[in-house]
């Protein structure tokens, strides 16, 4: 159960839907991912529904997928997070604004500054999703022939976090007197020069911007590996999980909260929000039909690639309209193979439907009525599968509108989601303390 016994909801908004067929829906805004007016509409609706945060993933390359998938993907042109969130900060008042930024291909002075600036512009609504960037194509856009290895990326990320938070602490909150009479704009005694010299980074400081409104923007993390979980346990205040089942969710939740406690933090210092794809219908069957319709919009050729990866065998020779044939066991991807076979059997899917399901959105999904969706979410909350969700919508604006108009009121009726914001900052929404300035303790 989350600290306040309530769900916390993020909206996964870059891309505006993770379902690859979403933009082809007949009522969809096909350009929603790259149209500021449409994104403003969506952000305002999320805020009216009292979402904790608007979340933007980020990638430092056109995504590395087969060209037949890429040509069908709305991700190929997206706004850069800091620019978009700064613009959205003007058309919204309360909702948190979470940007993803890479510790592998950027500099801590830049990152610290941009988040501090966004936090001031938004009056305390910024969050930083720390990623180490696993797409190897990104390295090629930054003067490298290959990316640093996984362990090194995480070691640098940990040091990077220390530097960025240290830069945010450059000034005491009371440093800026702006006293026209004496002419003292700020007090240099209340400024700290970081002088960081570490294994990967060397940064003098101070930052040329006042301490963020929130002290530090909220720290978010989405890595799932051993070092990813450890980084989360030591630093994150929100974790975006990718746990596809309640059992996986519970195991992840217990693991990360346990690690946090072992690292000297409290369980309530971290909120764990798995990504969830939510499709709302008047009946469960109608919701399933809606999902099947979206899945049917996924191109078979690109879907087949997803199926082949999941099964560990080349699926391109299978009869698209027949049932899934017997699949030999392989060494790799044992668990995903079993999950996919079970899925095909349970739902009676043809090869085509199965491929398109996987190529559409393969993770945790709540597909049903407002009541069944609220039941599922409540169960995750009560059984400690999560502290809420990072919701991805089936298409825009209809998928988001349905969630906001129908699911949110049901969650509110049950008392497991807020009716009003409790405060003004993202920290307030998440029930997080403002961190003390390490150089200027109170």
Ligand X SMILES: Cc1cc2nc3c(=O)[nH]c(=O)nc-3n(C[C@H](O)[C@H](O)[C@H](O)COP(=O)(O)O)c2cc1C
Give the one entry of a copy of itself, ligand X, none that residue 228 binds, where binding means its C-beta sits below a cut-off of 5 to 8 angstroms depending on kind: ligand X
- Return the number of the residue (12 or 171) whose C-beta is nearest ligand X: 12
Give the one entry of ligand X, a copy of itself, none that residue 222 binds, where binding means its C-beta sits below a cut-off of 5 to 8 angstroms depending on kind: ligand X
The residues near 141 (Cβ < 8 Å, ≥ 6 apart) are: 60, 61, 105
CB 407 within 8 A of CB 416: no
The residues near 285 (Cβ < 8 Å, ≥ 6 apart) are: none
Binding segment for ligand X among 52-60, 295-303, 315-323, 425-433 (CB under 6 A)? Answer: 52-60
Which of 160, 240, 318, 403 is the binder for ligand X (CB under 6 A)?
Answer: 240
SS3 annotation, 184-211: ECCCHHHECCCCEECCCCEECCCCCCCC
Say whether 401 counts as a known binding-site residue: no
- Shortest Cβ distance from residue 369 to a copy of itself (Å)? 28
- Shortest Cβ distance from residue 285 to ligand X (Å)? 29
Give the one entry of a copy of itself, ligand X, none that residue 275 binds, where binding means its C-beta sits below a cut-off of 5 to 8 angstroms depending on kind: ligand X
Whole-number Å distance between alpha carbons of 340 and 295: 16
| 223 in contact with ligand X (CB under 6 A) | yes
- Main-chain dihedrals φ then ψ at residue 102, nearest 5 degrees: -90, 135
Give the one entry of ligand X, a copy of itself, none that residue 223 binds, where binding means its C-beta sits below a cut-off of 5 to 8 angstroms depending on kind: ligand X
CB 397 within 8 A of CB 42: yes
196-197/202-203 β-pairing? antiparallel
Whole-number Å distance between alpha carbons of 372 and 287: 11
Which of 195, 225, 316, 379 is the binder for ligand X (CB under 6 A)?
Answer: 225
| 132 in contact with ligand X (CB under 6 A) | yes
Binding segment for ligand X among 30-38, 155-163, 219-227, 292-300 (CB under 6 A)? Answer: 219-227
Say whether 293 counts as a known binding-site residue: no
- Return the number of the residue (92 or 243) whose C-beta is nearest a copy of itself: 92
- Taking CB under 6 A as the rule, which mask of x and - marks residues 78-107 in contact with ligand X? ----------------------x-------
- Give the position of tokens 């570490």: 198
- Shortest Cβ distance from residue 425 to a copy of itself (Å)? 16
- Shortest Cβ distance from residue 82 to a copy of itself (Å)? 6
Whole-number Å distance between alpha carbons of 351 and 95: 42
| 158 in contact with ligand X (CB under 6 A) | no
Chain residue whose CB lies nearest ligand X: 228
Length of the chain: 442
CB 305 within 8 A of CB 359: yes
The residues near 274 (Cβ < 8 Å, ≥ 6 apart) are: 240, 241, 242, 243, 249, 252, 364, 380, 385, 386, 389, 390
State both tokens at 151: 């362990």
Binding segment for ligand X among 64-72, 207-215, 218-226, 426-434 (CB under 6 A)? Answer: 218-226
Q: How many CA atoms lie within 13 A of 90 on its CB side?
A: 7
Say whether 150 counts as a known binding-site residue: yes
Residue 295 DSSP symbol: H
Which of 15, 96, 217, 275 is the binder for ligand X (CB under 6 A)?
Answer: 275
| 318 in contact with ligand X (CB under 6 A) | no
Give the one entry of a copy of itself, ligand X, none that residue 131 binds, where binding means its C-beta sits below a cut-off of 5 to 8 angstroms depending on kind: ligand X
- Shortest Cβ distance from residue 47 to a copy of itself (Å)? 15
- Shortest Cβ distance from residue 129 to a copy of itself (Å)? 17
State both tokens at 369: 């009525």
Q: How many residues bind ligand X (CB under 6 A)?
A: 17
Say whether 137 counts as a known binding-site residue: no
Nearest CA to 131 among 270, 268, 232, 9? 232
Say whether 103 counts as a known binding-site residue: no
Question: Chain centroid to CA 224: how far?
Answer: 13
The annotation places the binding site for FMN at: 58, 100, 150, 154, 225
Applying CB under 6 A, the residues found at the interface with ligand X are: 57-59, 100, 131-134, 222-225, 228, 240, 242, 275, 390
């Amino acid at each position: 159960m989350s600290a306040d016994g309530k769900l916390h909801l993020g909206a996964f908004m870059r891309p505006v839907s993770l379902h690859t067929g979403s933009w082809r829906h007949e009522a969809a805004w096909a350009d929603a991912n790259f149209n500021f007016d449409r994104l403003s509409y969506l952000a305002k609706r999320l805020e009216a529904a009292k979402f904790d945060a608007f979340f933007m993933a980020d990638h430092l390359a056109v995504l590395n997928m087969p060209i037949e998938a890429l040509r069908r993907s709305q991700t190929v042109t997206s706004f850069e997070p800091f620019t978009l969130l700064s613009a959205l900060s003007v058309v919204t008042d309360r909702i948190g604004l979470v940007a993803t930024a890479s510790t592998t291909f950027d500099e801590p002075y830049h990152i610290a500054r941009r988040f501090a600036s966004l936090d001031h512009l938004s009056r305390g609504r910024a969050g930083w999703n720390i990623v180490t960037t696993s797409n190897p194509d990104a390295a090629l856009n930054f003067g490298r022939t290959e990316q640093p290895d996984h362990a090194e990326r995480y070691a640098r990320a940990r040091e990077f976090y220390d530097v960025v938070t240290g830069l945010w602490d450059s000034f005491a909150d009371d440093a800026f007197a702006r006293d026209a009479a004496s002419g003292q704009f700020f007090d240099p005694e209340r400024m700290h020069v970081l002088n960081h010299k570490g294994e990967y980074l060397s940064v003098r400081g101070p930052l040329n911007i006042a301490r963020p409104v929130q002290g530090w923007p909220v720290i978010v993390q989405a890595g799932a590996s051993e070092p990813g979980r450890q980084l989360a346990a030591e630093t994150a205040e929100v974790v975006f999980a990718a746990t596809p089942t309640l059992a996986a969710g519970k195991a992840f939740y217990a693991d990360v909260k346990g690690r946090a406690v072992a690292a000297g933090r409290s369980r309530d210092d971290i909120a764990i929000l798995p990504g969830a794809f939510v499709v709302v219908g008047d009946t469960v069957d109608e919701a399933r039909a809606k999902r099947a319709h979206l899945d049917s919009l996924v191109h078979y050729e690109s879907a087949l690639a997803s199926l082949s990866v999941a099964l560990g065998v080349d699926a391109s020779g299978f009869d698209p309209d027949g049932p899934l044939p017997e699949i030999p066991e392989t060494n790799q991807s044992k668990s995903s193979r079993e999950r996919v076979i079970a899925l095909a059997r349970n739902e009676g899917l043809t090869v085509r439907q199965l491929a398109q399901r996987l190529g559409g959105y393969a993770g945790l999904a709540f597909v049903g009525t407002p009541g069944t969706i609220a039941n599922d979410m409540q169960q995750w909350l009560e059984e400690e599968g999560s502290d809420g969700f990072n919701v991805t919508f089936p298409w825009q604006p209809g998928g988001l509108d349905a969630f906001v108009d129908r699911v949110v009121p049901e969650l509110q009726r049950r008392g497991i989601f807020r009716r009003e914001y409790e405060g003004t900052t993202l920290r307030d929404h998440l029930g997080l303390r403002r961190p003390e300035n390490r150089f200027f303790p109170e």
